[in-house]
Structure 1
Amino acid sequence: MKITLKQLLYFRALAEARNFGRAAEIANVTQPALSMQIKELEAILGVTLVERLPRDVRLTREGRTVLERAERVLAEAMELEATAHRENLGAALNVGMIPTVAPYLLAGTLARLRAADITRELRLREAQTTDLLLALRDGRLDAVVLADPPRAPDLFSAPLFEDRFVLAGSKARLAALGTTSEVLRPMALRPEHLLLLDEGHCLADQALEVCSLDRRQTRLDLGASSLATLCGLVAQGFGLTFLPEIALPAETAAAPDLRLRRFQPPEPARQLALVRRQASEGGAWFNDLHNHLCAAGQDLLARARSVAPPL
């Protein structure tokens, strides 16, 4: 009898859930079936993997060692499958983008991809950073575009470009901050004047960080999920918000009353990057996608700086 991937998957689920019933739900099998596979795995290896307690399941020392190796085996198997899918004729490339990037960067990237290879199919998922990273690590996505991605040994990040923040508001709101010749720094802003995206959006967290603020200090929790919503509000005088440069051409066209003001150098910014699993072989698809994203980004930045010229 040999070890199977199914047994390793069930064992990983049990290690995560620490309960046979919950592990069975995660693995989408019955509890007796999962329990039987765990016992068979223990019999094959000749060790006890878990301590079966009345209200808990605890890994033994041997169980922890097996789990580490199982994680590597499952990661390799997942990567083998993903690579095979990508190399098949007509296989789709599954890419994720955060919501404060996708509406602005996607159109130019798609145009370049089509011009380079009309047969290429790109499937996009737009979601917040936490969800994208989970899908990437699970193999449901091949690569993701993030802002200031976390450093992790299982991830590889290829920088795309720097995306600076610009202050946006109504004409009256920005005039109240002083003349354009006066120095404007993020930390000088009054927190009660700031409108931000709802929790979970990395752009809101980055804006709070550059201002050294806590979300509880801001005036109004709108639960806004898009920059377009915020721009419409601040254009009507409801406050101020941070806009990334790549959003400037689209949002100023949609909200003609919106006014912009640059911060004093060095301007606050976020670094956009294309991220894949470290175990995934980048290859031509990754390099091509990276190059097209960079080119589309540079075009956007050039247009943005014609809308709001740097100081």
Structure 2
Amino acid sequence: MLILGVESSCDESGVALVEARGEGVPRLLAHALHSQIEMHQAYGGVVPELASRDHIRRLVPLAREVLARAGCAASQIDVVAYTRGPGLAGALLVGAGLACALAAALDRPVLGVHHLEGHLLSPFLGADPPEFPFVALLVSGGHTQLMRVDGVGRYETLGETIDDAAGEAFDKCAKLLGLGYPGGPQLARLAEFGDPDAFDLPRPLLHNGTLDFSFAGLKTAVLTQVKRLGPNVCEQDRANLAAATQAAIVEVLVKKSLTALRQTGLRRLVVAGGVGANKLLREQLNRACERRGVRVHYPELALCTDNGAMIALAAAMRLQAGQAQASRDYAFDVWPRWALEAA
């Protein structure tokens, strides 16, 4: 079974083709991605209307590129999957419209997929795929969640962000430091030259006994330091503040993940989403989990950001597990807000 996946939830246009083979892990045949980073840099963040228009321009050429790379004809596609939510409403509508139109033209069924489920399952495309059950740390854009995952479609929220997510904290603090878009990767690069102990920043909710996250207070603390340093701050102080900010975010993510593992008794951790590519986060999680005999699984770096491969994979695994049924009803809707447990 060949599943074409279409991702358009925010500022990346992604298309991919995976092959589902019986009960085994689906195989990625080809994927193509276009990032809108360069377009949005002039505005310091994602402009939803521009994002939607760019998806319109990119998705059809990307689909043709993927089919050509895989050596497949459109007529060989068995199911067309797309991101139904969460995400930007206009951007989601572009991907849903393309997927349903293509499926209708080919007389193939279509399936809407939860964006975060795609991230959650993306490590299954790696060289070291996990096994159920596991704890998942989802750190993608405006979402920071800890989940217990017992199987495809069997998700329990253990903790989640109550205000700013980790990705938002990276981006907002980077903006306070005068860094460009996207802020998270730029802050991480600047942090390599700084001293994380130079500033005493808070670790919100670290000791409150829950698995919830809050990073709004950290952002306020960084703002206070930026104002104290003034407009003529030296580059070393900026690097030190970047390093301290990154260290605070990573410490919270690592310690909450370890607490989730301890509370559930599970010995396997999956980290997924864009922040999952952060070098310091991976290093600290690897060290901490190795000491405790816990296996950690990550997506391939190329699949940490939004992409069509994770959408095609999630659809394939849902279909294999009998957790979803593709439909030839091409009247589509999108859900900009959609809880993963309700998927």
Question: Which of the two has higher C-alpha Rg?
Answer: 1
TM-score when normalising by structure 2: 0.24
Which structure has more relative contact order (CA 8 Å, sep 6+)? It is 2
> Normalization by structure 1: what TM-score?
0.26
